[in-house]
Amino acid sequence: MSSREIVLPYGTITDKKLVMRFSAFDIDLPVIAAGIRERMDVLREMEVAFAGFGTEVPQNISEQSPAVIKAFFEYVGTDGDPTKILKRVYHLVWSGMIQEFPSLNEWAEAKADLSNLTLAQAEVLRARRGE
């Protein structure tokens, strides 16, 4: 960790960049994207650019070691304190995710649909392999 790196509970700020980290077990990419989209107009006003998503897959993925989803942001302004602004962005993105999170019923239905899709894909793979 460099001396200019600020560690947050689920992310880091280094110079003018914020990297937020989410466990794929806990939060799906669409929820993260919806939270960012919800706050995008505010981020632009704060002169912060959303720089994309990435996935960090552990060497030995298992039920105990999920993939990590990363969201990247960069302060592109010139007048403000990047650390202070990016800490605010961190909190704004989390609040946007909470704002956009589906209701419990919608979430359960989506998870059930995903489970059914996964089972159907497994059946297709088994059929192709002749099992």
Domain map (residue ranges) of the chain: 5-100, 102-131
| 69 Cβ contact partners less than 8 Å away, ≥ 6 residues apart | 21, 22, 23, 24, 27, 29, 32, 53, 54, 55, 56
Q: What is the CATH number of domain 5-100?
A: 3.30.300
Question: Which whole number is the average pLDDT over 1-12?
Answer: 85
Q: Is the pLDDT of residue 15 over 80?
A: yes
> How many Cβ atoms sit within 10 Å of the Cβ of residue 46?
18
* Cα–Cα distance measured from residue 94 to residue 19, given in angstroms and rounded to the nearest whole number: 13
pLDDT of 61 reads: 65
At residue 129, the pLDDT reads: 87
When pLDDT is averaged across residues 90-108 and rounded to a whole number, the result is 89
Residue 28, burial from CB neighbour count under 10 angstroms (0-12, 13-18, 19+): middle
Q: Is residue 115 classed as helix, strand or coil in its secondary structure?
A: helix
d(CA 87, CA 53): 18
Is the pLDDT at 16 greater than 70? The verdict is yes
Q: Is the pLDDT of residue 130 over 80?
A: yes
Could you tell me the pTM of the whole model?
A: 0.77
pLDDT digits (tens, 9 = 90+) for 23-56: 887 888 888 999 999 999 999 999 999 999 988 7
Q: What was the pLDDT predicted at 3?
A: 61
